[in-house]
Amino acid sequence: MAGSEVPVQTHVGADAPQRVDLDRCVHCGLCLNSCPTYRELGVEMDSPRGRVYQMVQVADGKADINPAYLEHIDLCLACRACETACPSGVQYGRLVEAARAEIEERVGSKRPWPIRLLRDVVFNGILPSRQVLRVLGAALYAYRATGIQALVRGSGLLKLMGKMGRIEEFAPEAEMPQFYKWYGSVLPAVGQRRFRVAFLGGCMANVFFARLNEATVRVLQRNGCEVVIPEAQTCCGALHVHAGMRQPARDLARRNIDALNAGEGLDAIITNAAGCGSTLKEYDELLEHDAAYAERARAFQEKVRDITEFLVSAGLNTADLRPLSGRRVTYQDSCHLAHGQKVRTAPRQLLKAIPGLDFVEMPMSDLCCGSAGIYNVVHDEMAAAILEKKMRYAQTVAPDIIATANPGCMLQLRAGVRRHGKAAQRVMHVVELLDESYTAE
């Protein structure tokens, strides 16, 4: 019967949404309430179900990649909360990344030239380049240290700059010295060596979260880890994948696999950034059609662990923890840790293990904060609306500290504290609290 025929996927490529993934969606709508953009707008086409429907129409040749399609796909945060809610196991993160890759392949060259130039500078010129990041970090550090930033913010000039002025609030503060100084080091375990691990410092984090990276290494050492910081490591490619730039992401993945020799001789490959970890754990998918790297990518990703995940599985050293009394802390789930990597209990277990810390659950803790890589720059108004709701939930438990497990979330939540929080409220990575406890007198 003609009605029982399987639809033919007209537009298909290695990086386009695949029929086997699209057909998992039964359009039940259980994903709707978990989607930040649908919760905000109430528009079907800005829900996971609606976006999958649009992908099917494009795949079957019934719709073009037109401006409306671009808008709806681009407005997605790719937080993957819909994956957690979905009873059919739809791999929505894989689908939206494939849709963006198809967009990049088919119409990327038709974008206005300023946008093409900006994307090329950011993704190909800044993120993979240690030298450029070092110079950029030094310049931004001087911008703040000399008082120019405070002068600009106090002058009212930012209000006249429109969108650029609004997103300046989310600009990270460069830290000196940068974490790059530790590249090529092998740092010994404190006490008996139990593990040999590699730590990936990321790209931007080496400049803007250098102290967090150092705290991560110290905590690993305190837990019996000899820590290798590979000299040849580079950006993980997560932001490239989210933007649909899969070929540059593959190049970066190959470089990291080579830098760590696919993880040979290591017990684990550690990251403290949930967004990076999610992509690192999917290197096997990214390189599944690469005959030279497919097997090495599988060996690599099998050893990738988020720092919270690793510490719990390794058996946290609680003997050296000192009390952090009088602090009330809540935890915000980083989307790519909770929904992408399915790691939820480990960060909470670590916080509860710190003596004296008063841990309290935040309502809707796994609702996206609006950071989503560079989403809070590209879609700053939507990100701000989502952030306001997140902070409303956070303030119901009156925390002194909002803990999370991703640098991007930290930036977003710090802006949230400035806008909607209380005086002296802090945003910290889980590992920073562990480090404070280990080093407390």
What is the number of domains present in the chain? 4
Give me the torsion for CA of 116, 119, 122, 124, rounded to 10°. Answer: -80
Average confidence score pLDDT of the chain: 92
**Mean pLDDT, range 181-185, rounded to an integer:** 96
Strand order in the sheet with 426-429: 357-359, 327-331, 401-404, 426-429
> In this predicted structure, what is the pLDDT of residue 225?
98
Give me the torsion for CA of 38, 410, 249, 269, rounded to 10°. Answer: -120
Choose one of 313, 334, 359: the last residue of a domain: 313
pLDDT tens for 57-98 read 999 999 999 999 999 999 999 999 999 999 999 999 999 999
pLDDT tens for 90-102 read 999 999 999 999 9
- Kindly provide the b/e burial profile for residues 104-115, where b requires at least 16 CB atoms within 10 angstroms of the residue's own CB: bbeebeeeeeee
**pLDDT of 160 strictly over 70:** no
239/297 same-domain check: yes
Poorest-pLDDT segment among 94-98, 148-152, 364-368: 148-152
342/295 same-domain check: no
CA pair distance 250, 241, nearest whole angstrom: 9
434/323 same-domain check: yes
124/192 same-domain check: no
> In this predicted structure, what is the pLDDT of residue 154?
72
201/245 same-domain check: yes
Choose one of 282, 313, 344: the last residue of a domain: 313
**Mean pLDDT, range 343-361, rounded to an integer:** 97
29/57 same-domain check: yes
Give me the torsion for CA of 115, 119, 125, 127, rounded to 10°. Answer: 150
Give the gyration radius of the chain's Cα atoms: 22
**Mean pLDDT, range 118-134, rounded to an integer:** 93
Residue 342 gets the label, from left (phi > 0), alpha (psi -120 to 50) or beta, of: left
Provide the domain limits for residue 350: 318-439
Q: Which two tokens stand for residue 73?
A: 């796909």
Poorest-pLDDT segment among 11-25, 150-164, 208-222, 346-360: 150-164
CA pair distance 158, 95, nearest whole angstrom: 38
CATH number at residue 390: 3.40.50
> In this predicted structure, what is the pLDDT of residue 165?
63
122/203 same-domain check: no
By percentage, how much of the chain surpasses pLDDT 90? Answer: 80
> In this predicted structure, what is the pLDDT of residue 378?
84
pLDDT band of residue 377 (cuts 50, 70, 90) is: confident
305/387 same-domain check: no
**Mean pLDDT, range 225-232, rounded to an integer:** 97
> In this predicted structure, what is the pLDDT of residue 2?
42
